[in-house]
A and B are shown apart, each in its own frame.
Chain A
Amino acid sequence: MAGTGKAHLRDSPAPILRVENLVIEYKSGRNDPVQAVSNISLELHDGETLAIIGESGCGKSTLGKGILKLVDVTSGSVVFNGVDINTLDKEALRQVRPNFQMIFQDSISSLDPHLTVGRIVRQPLDIWNRGEESERDAKVDELLVSVGLDPERVKNRKPHEFSGGQCQRISIARALTLEPKVLICDEPVSSLDVSIQAQILNILQEMKVRYGLSLIFFSHDLAVVRAISTRILVMYLGKVCEIADPDTLCDSPRHHYTHALVSSVPVPDPTVHRHSAILQGEPPSPTNPPSGCRFRTRCAAATDLCATEEPQLRETTPGNYVACHHPRD
C-alpha cells in the first residue's frame, strides 16, 4: 500500500482540482507527529464523482479538510483551476472558498439550531452580498424546491423539526447556494435509513447535473459509491491502495484490501453465497505505521518484500492503478 506515486494522474484535459503529494500531520503531545494523510495525490475532472473509500481512521476526513484547507497542510499542493490554494493569503483564499462546499455526515448538528431553514440557506448570499433581496429569496426557494422540499412549509421552521434525511436535503441546498464547482460529501448518507439513503443519493446525482458540479464523496460503504461514482480511490492508513472505475474495482479488485472491503458489504439476497474474506483485527495505529506496505499486517498475501519496500502505484489495465507487490488476479 503505497500511494507514493503519481502514475495515475492524467494531464489532459486539465483537472478542476489536483492534489499532489499531500501530507497532513497532527502533533500529538511529546510523541512524533501522526501522519493522517501520507503523500496522497489525486485529481478531479469536471463533472466527475470521485469516491474515496476507507475505514474509520484511514485519514479520509482529514484529506477532505485538507482539500478545503480547513486544516493546515504539512506539505504538498492543492491546485484548483491552476492555482495552488496553499500559497494564497487569507483574503485570496476567502475569495476562492465559495467554489468548494462541503456536506457532513451528521446533518442535524451541522445546521445552526437557532436559525430558520430559510435563513440557513440564504446566509451565504447575505455574507457575499450577492443579488437583490428579492433575488436572494427567489434563489432560496429555487434551491429548496430542487432538493424536494416545499419552501412555504419549511422556510420558517428550525432544524430540530426535521428528520435526518430532511436535514441532509437542507444541507445540500445550503451548500449549493453559492453555486460551487466542487462539492465535498463526507459520509453524507451513512447515518440515514437505507430507504432515505437512496433519496439523498439521487438528489446529489440530480444536483450534479443541474448545477455542473464535480463531487468528492467520502464513504466506508462500497455499495453506496458503486452506484454513483465515476472513479473510486481506496485509502488505508493515510495511503492510496487502488484507483479504478467502479465496475472494475467492485467486480475484480486487485488490491487485497479492496477485496476485503468488497466482501464485507452485506448483499440483500440470502441465495447469494459470496466468498467471504472478512478482515481480522483492527487497523494498526497511525502513530507507528508498519514499514513497507501499511496493509501487510492484515494481508494474507504479504511476503518479506512487503515489509521492506513500499509498493508504488502502477497501471494494471488502462486507467486503473494498484499499489501492491502481489496483486490479485
Chain B
Amino acid sequence: MSDLLKITDLAVDFDTSYGKLHAVRGVSLDIAPGESVGIVGESGSGKTVFSRATMGLLRGSSVHRTGQILFEGTEISSLDSKQIREYWGTKIAMIFQDPMTALNPVRRIGAQMSESLIKRLGMSKSEAKDRAIELLTLVKLPEPELALEKYAHQLSGGMRQRVMIAMAIACNPKMLFADEPTTALDVTVQAQVLELLAELRKELGMAMVIITHDLGVVAGYTDRIAVMYGGEIVELASTTDLFTDTKMPYTEALIKSIPRVDRKRGSELASIEGMPPDPTSNRASCGFADRCPYAVQKCRDEHPQLVDAGNGHSYRCFFPIGGK
C-alpha cells in the first residue's frame, strides 16, 4: 500500500524569549489513502503544531523544521507559495476548532464559499453558486439557498462547522485535517458532525486525520490512533489494539480519565495529576516519568525509544503494560 502522506522524523522548534521550544520532537507517521487516523493528546502535546507543519502553514524565521513531510512523494517545504496554494484545498484541507473565527464575519457565506470555486476551479459565478448549494446539501445544512445569503453570526455553532466542512471539501481534497472539530460543540451536535465526517470520508474516499484531546471522540471513527505527549508519539496502534491492548501508561491514564455515560459511577474519577513536561527542556528522561504510577529510576535517567510490538503497534516505554 503506497502512502499518501509520509512523515519521517519531523521536528519543529520555535525561538522564544525563554529559549528554544521543542514543540514536535521526531514524529514519524504514514497515512494511506482513505485511511482515518486520530491524533490524541493534551493541550501542549504538539498535536496542533504537528498538523500545521503537515499543512505547510508553519513559515517564518522563528520556526525551525527538520525531517521529511512527503505528500504523494513531494516534500512540502520544496513548494513555493504558488504551489502551496495549489496543494491546499485540492490535496489537503483543514477544518478548525472554532468555526466562528475561521469564517469571515463581514462576508456572506455564499461569497466565502464561491471564492475558492471561482479562483481555484475557474467556475463562473452561477456555477459556483450551484456548486455551493450542492456542497451545503452534502453537509446536510437545512435550506442551503437561504444559508448562502447569511453571515456567520446568524448560524449556530453546528451549522458553522458544517459550512467549514463544505468549504474544506469543495476542491475534493485527498486528505482532511480536522483540528478539534467538535470541541466547541454540544454533544448532540458533536455526534451529528462526527457522523457527517465519517459519511463524507466514505463517499469521497478522503483520508482523514482527527486531532483531539478526547479519546472518546475518535474511538468510533478512526482506523488507527497516535497518542502524542510532550511533542512525541508515545503510542501508535490500530484503534482496537489501543483500547484493548494498551501498552503505554499514559494512554491507560487517558482512557481511565474519561467519564463514561454507560458505566455506574465509582467513588472518584481517575485524573492524571501533575503537568505535561517543559517544552523547552532537552529531555533525558521519559517525559511521563513524573506523572506515571509505574515509573522507576530508569525512567528518570533514560529517554525511551519507540518500540515496535508488531502488527503496526508501537510504544515508547521501558515497562509496557502487559509486558513486551
Checking A193, A198, A220, A262 against B43 with a beta-carbon cut-off of 8 angstroms, the contacting residue is A193
B261 near A268: Cβ-Cβ < 8 Å: no
Contact across chains for A222 and B272 when beta carbons are under 8 A apart: no
Across the interface, do A195 and B187 meet the contact criterion of CB distance under 8 Å? no
Q: Which of B157, B189, B217 is most buried by chain A, counting CB atoms within 10 A of its CB?
A: B189
- B257–A197 contact, CB under 8 A? yes
Is the beta-carbon distance between B261 and A262 smaller than 8 angstroms? yes
| Residue A79 interfacial (CB < 8 Å) | no
Given A56-B156, A197-B257, A267-B260, A226 contacting B273 (CB threshold 8 A): no
Give B248-285 as 1s and 0s: 1 = Cβ < 8 Å from A's Cβ atoms. 00000111011111101110111111000000000000
Cα–Cα, bound, A282→B186 (Å): 11
B158 on the A face (CB < 8 A): yes
Given A199-B271, A202-B268, A205-B268, answer yes or no on A194-B258 (Cβ-Cβ < 8 Å): yes
Do A220 and B187 have beta carbons less than 8 Å apart?
yes
Contacts of B195 in A (CB 8 A): 278
Q: Which of B142, B156, B259 contacts A198 (CB 8 A)?
A: B259
A227: CB under 8 A from chain B? yes
Given contact pairs A56-B186, A197-B259, A198-B257, A269 touches B191 in the complex (Cβ within 8 A): no
Q: Are A195 and B253 also in contact (CB < 8 A) when A266-B214, A274-B262 are?
A: yes
Cβ of B213 < 8 Å from any Cβ of A?
yes
Tell whether, in the assembled complex, residue A246 and residue B220 are in contact, meaning their CB atoms are under 8 Å apart: no
Given contacts A194-B214, A267-B262, contact A55 B186 (CB under 8 A): yes
| Among B186, B189, B259, B266, residue most surrounded by chain A Cβ atoms (within 10 Å) | B259
Q: How far is the CA of A23 from the CA of B216 in the complex (A)?
A: 37
> Within 8 Å of chain B (Cβ to Cβ): is A163?
yes
- Asked whether any CB of chain B lies closer than 8 Å to the CB of A7, the reply is no
In the complex, the answer to whether A268 meets B258 with C-beta atoms within 8 Å is: yes
**Bound form: Cα–Cα A280–B182 in Å:** 16
The total of chain A residues at the interface (CB under 8 A) is 46
Query: What distance in Å separates the Cβ of A49 from its nearest Cβ neighbour in chain B?
Result: 11
Distance of A274 Cα from B262 Cα, bound (Å): 10
Let me know if A202 and B219 touch, CB within 8 A.
Answer: no
Q: Which of B187-220 contact A (CB under 8 A)?
A: 187-192, 194-195, 213-217, 219-220
Partner of A266, one of B190, B257, B268, B270: B190
Chain A nearest CB from B179 CB (Å) reads 14
The residue on B at minimum CB distance from A54 is B186
**Interface residue from B240, B260, B272, B273 paired with A268 (Cβ < 8 Å):** B260
Q: Is B114 an interface residue (CB 8 A)?
A: no
Task: Establish whether residues B188 and A279, one from each chain, have CB atoms under 8 Å apart when the complex forms.
Answer: yes
Q: How many residues of B contact A (CB 8 A)?
A: 45
With beta carbons under 8 angstroms apart, the residue of A197, A263, A268 that contacts B255 is A268
Given the complex, which residues of A lie within 8 Å of B244, measured CB to CB?
271
Q: Do B188 and A266 touch (CB < 8 A)?
A: no
The distance in angstroms between the C-alpha atoms of A197 and B257, with both chains bound, is: 8
Q: Given that A55-B186, A194-B254 are known contacts, is A164 also in contact with B259, CB under 8 Å in the complex?
A: no
Residue-wise interface mask of A (189-224) relative to B, using a CB-CB cutoff of 8 A (1 in contact, 0 not)? 000011111110110010000000000000011111
B159 is an interface residue with CB less than 8 A from chain A: yes
Q: How far is the CA of A250 from the CA of B264 in the complex (A)?
A: 9
A270 within 8 A of B: yes
- B136-160 residues with Cβ-Cβ distance < 8 A to A are 142, 156-159
Taken together as a complex, chains A and B put the C-alpha atoms of A306 and B5 apart, in Å, by 53
Residue in chain A with minimal CB distance to B263: A226
What's the Cα separation between A88 and B264 when bound, in Å?
42
In the complex, residue of chain B having the shortest beta-carbon distance to the beta carbon of A228? B265
A262 to B156 CA separation, bound complex (whole angstroms): 22
Minimal beta-carbon separation of A295 from chain B (angstroms): 12
In the complex, which of the residues A197, A266, A267, A282 has the most CB atoms of chain B within 10 Å of its own CB atom? Answer: A266
**Nearest residue, chain A, Cβ from B183:** A191
Complex CA–CA separation, A263 to B218 (angstroms) = 16
CB-defined contacts of A271 to chain B, threshold 8 Å = 240, 243-244
Q: Does B42 contact A (CB under 8 A)?
A: yes
Q: In the complex the two chains form, what is the Cα distance from A272 to B188 in whole Å?
A: 19
Whether B188 pairs with A264 at a CB distance below 8 angstroms is yes
Residues of chain A with a CB closer than 8 A to B189's CB: 55
CA distance A233 to B207 in the complex (A): 41
Asked if B239 is at the interface of the complex by the 8 Å CB criterion, the answer is: yes
- Whether A32 sits at the interface, judged by CB under 8 Å, is no
A206–B13 Cα distance when bound, in Å, is 40
Q: Are B43 and A163 in contact (CB under 8 A)?
A: yes
- Contact A265 B257, beta carbon cutoff 8 Å: no
Most chain B Cβ neighbours within 10 Å, of A196, A222, A247: A196
Which of chain A's residues has its CB closest to B189's CB? A55
Q: Which of B186, B254, B257, B261 has the most CB of A within 10 A?
A: B261
Structural contact, A282 and B159, CB atoms closer than 8 A = yes
Does A194 contact B213, Cβ atoms closer than 8 Å?
yes
B-side contacts of A198, CB under 8 Å: 257, 259, 269-272
Q: Is the CB of A195 within 8 A of B186?
A: no
Contacts of A261 in B (CB 8 A): 187-188
Cross-chain pairs A/B with CB under 8 angstroms, 11 sampled: A55-B186, A193-B43, A196-B42, A202-B269, A226-B260, A227-B259, A267-B220, A267-B262, A270-B243, A279-B192, A282-B158
A contact set with B: CB distance below 8 Å: 55-57, 163-164, 193-199, 201-202, 205, 220-224, 226-228, 246-247, 250, 260-272, 274, 276, 278-282
Interface residues, chain B, CB within 8 Å of chain A? 42-43, 142, 156-159, 186-192, 194-195, 213-217, 219-220, 239-240, 243-244, 253-255, 257-262, 264-266, 268-273
Other than the given A220-B187, A227-B269, 20 more pairs (CB < 8 A) read A56-B186, A194-B254, A195-B213, A196-B271, A205-B268, A220-B188, A222-B187, A224-B259, A226-B261, A227-B259, A228-B265, A247-B265, A264-B187, A264-B191, A266-B190, A266-B217, A268-B216, A270-B240, A270-B243, A278-B188
